[in-house]
Amino acid sequence: MKETMPSKLLIINADDCNLTPKVTEAILSAHETGIVTSTTFMVNLPISESLVCDILDAKKLGLGLHLNITLGEPVAKKALVKGLIQKNGQFRKQKEYFEKGFPKVGEITEEFRAQLQRFVKTFKRLPTHVDVHHHMHDHLPFLEALYAIARKHALPVRWTRLLSEPEIKDRFKPIKTTDHFYGNLDPHTYWTEEVLRHLLFTLLPGTSEVMCHPGWVDDELCAISSLTLPREKEFRLFGSRELRKYIAALGIKLTDFSCLGKKR
């Protein structure tokens, strides 16, 4: 008899892998002991050989690409992405994109393509999926650039609110994404056990992604991110063995983005 897939598939994705060593350590720990099934890696920041080994050793952890155009330096040649960078050669901050206008789609695509190439060179494989740091693909030029590389390599992408608009959804119809997405980027809020358990208990059929940001706080993190102490609270939550048991009892199947390539 052919085995049928569970009606509720859940991806728990930890963002910002490689943001700092302590953030990465917390993500790997939450995967080992808790419910994190997937993470997205920032390739434009310094990458150590030992970190690559640690990531590859976590064989059950889905590894996606966290495309980043708001922190650090570009991977593409700077002459090709002038609209993305400041005079010091660093990426423009998120706020600056909104205040001074978005760059050309071609420049964003060039940088996204370069980051994907570095990911493949580093890990010797394509990512399980792609998403964008600070959820910048909630804005059309960044979604267009994301679509360009996702379509070429048949990569799933993180859901964006833009796909709830009929015209845009039809335009980007080939994009593979989850049926449902849960999470926010407010640095003052975070997942609590009460809220997460309620979501799990009422989870809709189909594929769902829960975005989270587990991490350990140190001076390095505080210097580059507004999201600090909530990361430690989320580490304790998403690193919980008890929640893994609760999820199993509800008949929810934990998975990663590779499930989007399979028939349900």
Residue 197 in tokens:
């358990």
CATH of the domain at 77: 3.20.20.370
Q: Could you give the CA distance from residue 252 to residue 75 in angstroms, rounded to a whole number?
A: 39
Within-domain flag for 2: no
Q: Is 130 helix (H, G, I), strand (E, B) or coil?
A: strand
Q: Quick: pLDDT tens for 129-180.
A: 999 999 999 999 999 999 999 999 999 999 999 988 888 888 888 889 999 9
For 25-62, write each residue's pLDDT tens digit. Answer: 999 999 999 999 999 999 999 999 999 999 999 999 99
Domain of residue 251: give its range. Answer: 8-261
pLDDT in tens, 204-239: 999 999 999 999 999 999 999 999 999 999 999 999
Q: Is residue 108 part of a domain?
A: yes
Percent of the chain at pLDDT above 90? 88
Is position 175 within any domain? yes
Is the pLDDT at 188 greater than 80? The verdict is: no
Question: Is 1 domain-assigned?
Answer: no
Kindly provide the b/e burial profile for residues 20-55, where b requires at least 16 CB atoms within 10 angstroms of the residue's own CB.
bbbbbbbbbbbbeebbbbbbbbbbbbebeeebeeeb
Taking a C-beta distance cutoff of 8 angstroms, is the pair 115, 166 a contact?
Answer: no
Residues pairing with 131 in the sheet: 66
Residue 163 within any structural domain of the chain: yes
The pTM score is: 0.93
Structural domains in the chain (count): 1
**CB proximity list for 11: less than 8 A, separation 6 or greater:** 37, 38, 62, 178, 207, 208, 209, 210, 254, 255, 256, 257, 259
Nearest to 211 by CA among 15, 37, 2: 15
Q: Determine, yes or no, domain membership for 45.
A: yes
